[in-house]
Amino acid sequence: MTISNPKTFLRSLFDRAVEVADPMRSLARFLPAKPPGRVVVIGAGKASARMAEAVEAVWGPCDGLVITRYGYARPCRGIEIVEAAHPVPDAAGADATARMLALLQGLSEGDFVLALISGGASALLCAPVDGVTLAEKQLVNASLLASGAPISAMNTVRKHLSRVKGGQLAAAAYPARMLALLISDVPGDDPAFIGSGPTVGDATTPADAAEVLARWSVPVPASVHLALARSGVIAPGDARLARVENVIYAAPAQSLAAAAEVARAAGLDVRLLGDSLEGEAREVAAAQAAMALDIAKAMQPGARPVLLLSGGELTVTRRGSGIGGPNAEFCLAMALALNGAANIHAIACDTDGVDGAAEVAGAVIGPDTLAQARAAGVDAGDALARNDAHSFFGMIGAQVVTGPTLTNVNDFRAVLILPG
């Protein structure tokens, strides 16, 4: 078989992965009948406003408050949607979190809370522990993001510096009954790390958080180290969590499976590398480039195209001052590793439409990527050294820009190897 436009084909696979994770398509079947009595809807994350919209499509107007990223609001008839900053929190998120906690005060056993949590809640739910200012919390978040630490490590620190994460949001609603519907954006789909687990008990300790700061050389004020001792993270067996049910209803594996189904229907040999890959973006790119080159070398004329699919959450250790998230850096490092090899194309995008802090989902590459860069006077190696992948792909017109996708099931990567 032939694929006339590999880049368009790869983009269609990414679009399909995003489509199946849209809350308007996937949430309703996990929603119970609206309980009698008082019902409060709360939530946070880049998909939370869309989740709230999906809830009201079934239940009708509801009371509640949801915090989402700037530009990700959706029209709701009852639930208030507040926009705030991500990935570094701001005053809007802090004010909205305080109002959310006030909304949960005084609930009784007969009341019901629906919590809508997706990736991004770690920054959007902002209530620093006593002794930590908003400015200090912002500094910690920015430093963690630049450290190269995996998401599980970053969220361990965030939990112990918060009054809502690590089960504390659910504890604030006790003794009301709570159902938390979650979209996973973390490797392994551990609900304790989705949005830093505001509805899930956590067994980590302040010492674990301090070890993360030390291991990843994260610079923080002395006040932050002192504040860790005031952590209020809720232990998994705490009685205040006994009436909470956490349900992951959308996850990266489902989106990868949907993309794989499209590719197989087109006649491709699909090889799934896993939905929970972690590590430095440039190192994972080099490994997948070597795999693709080996496959291409062994491929016979007329063989079926091979597609390598993977998800997870890669990281970038900030070495320069450029603009580039892990997906764009993956593509740039892969282009350099492939060095113009024929018949190999790739795409890497974040399913929320935001790669790092840029309003760009990711990028797409092919055998002509480095030649295009040279023609545009752009040095690919220099761009990688400065972590400036987004600027690089912007210069050659190879960015993938989606705008808000209103969902978030982590990174999507596809490498296409065509027969010669």
CA 46 – CA 21 distance, rounded (Å): 13
Distance of CA 58 to the CA centre of its chain: 26
Q: What is the pLDDT of residue 323?
A: 81
pTM: 0.93
Pairing state between β 39-44 and 112-117: parallel
Domain locations in the chain as residue ranges: 6-18+253-417, 31-250
The 10 Å Cβ neighbour count of residue 214 is 10
The 10 Å Cβ neighbour count of residue 105 is 8
CA 264 – CA 287 distance, rounded (Å): 24
Q: What is the pLDDT of residue 1?
A: 56
3 with 416: CB under 8 angstroms? yes
The beta strand positions in 190-337, using DSSP E, are 244-250, 269-272, 277-280, 306-315
Residue 123 is encoded by which pair of tokens?
A: 């920054």
CATH class given for the domain over 31-250: alpha beta
Report helix, strand or coil for 58. helix
Question: For the range 281-284, what are the long-range contacts, defined as Cβ-Cβ under 8 Å and sequence gap of 24 or more?
Answer: 281/314, 281/315, 281/316, 281/326, 281/327, 281/329, 281/330, 281/333, 282/329, 282/330, 282/332, 282/333, 282/384, 283/333, 284/314, 284/330
Q: Which CATH architecture has domain 6-18+253-417?
A: 3-Layer(aba) Sandwich (3.40)
268 with 308: CB under 8 angstroms? no
CA 337 – CA 284 distance, rounded (Å): 11
CA 81 – CA 321 distance, rounded (Å): 34
In three-state form (DSSP H/G/I as H, E/B as E, the rest C), the secondary structure along 5-27 is: CHHHHHHHHHHHHHHHCCHHHHC
Q: For residue 26, what are the CA distances in angstroms to 93, 112, 136, 152?
A: 27, 22, 38, 26
User: Tokens 């080099």 appear where?
Assistant: 286
Answer yes or no: same fold for 6-18+253-417 and 31-250. Answer: no
Q: What is the pLDDT of residue 151?
A: 87
31 with 55: CB under 8 angstroms? yes
Per-10-residue mean pLDDT of the chain, 420 residues long, equals 89 98 97 97 98 98 98 97 96 98 97 97 96 94 90 93 97 98 95 96 95 94 91 96 98 97 97 96 98 97 96 91 90 98 98 92 98 97 96 97 96 96
C-alpha count within 13 angstroms, C-beta hemisphere, residue 282 = 19
Q: What is the pLDDT of residue 372?
A: 98
